[in-house]
Amino acid sequence: MSEKLLNQILSELKEMKSEQQTTNDTINGMKSEQQSMKEIQELMQTQLKETNEMVHAIHHRQEESDAKLESLTMNVNYIMGDITAIKESQQRQEKILESLSIRSLEQETDIRELKRTLI
């Protein structure tokens, strides 16, 4: 083989080696980017898990709040029933008191008339 041919082969081999190195560098860069993306994905999964746990905790607390609100509503309704019963009882008592007052006045009048007739 001639020296010229050997130099051409050597030149092409060097060029191929250079291209291969460039390809290896590109692959290594892609692997590095892939690793970074994998780390980001793991971080996102961790954050998503934490977010889901917080959502479940909030949901649970909301259910507790709903139960307390329902209990308070029932208590208010019960108290309102008691207030209504007390008002009705008070009205009855007022009517009775009015009747007793009228009767007392009538009796006082009768007593005065009896005293006048006796005097």
Burial class (CB in 10 A: 0-12, 13-18, 19+), 28: exposed
Count how many Cα atoms sit within 13 Å of the Cα of residue 22 in the half-sphere of its side chain: 6
Q: How many domains does the chain have?
A: 1
* Distance, CA of 86 to CA of 62 (rounded, Å): 36
Whether 49 is in a domain gets the answer no
Domain annotation covers residue 110: yes
Instruction: Tell whether the torsion through CA atoms of 38, 39, 40 and 44 is positive or negative.
Output: positive
Residue 6 resides in a domain: no
Give a yes or no: residue 95 inside a domain.
Answer: yes
Domain limits for position 107:
85-119
Task: Answer yes or no: pTM beyond 0.85.
Answer: no
* Per-residue model confidence (pLDDT) at position 119: 74
Q: List per-residue pLDDT tens for the chain, 119 residues long.
A: 699 989 999 999 999 999 999 999 999 999 999 999 999 999 999 999 999 999 999 999 999 999 999 999 999 999 999 999 999 999 999 999 999 999 999 999 999 999 999 87
C-alpha span between 49 and 51 (Å, rounded): 5
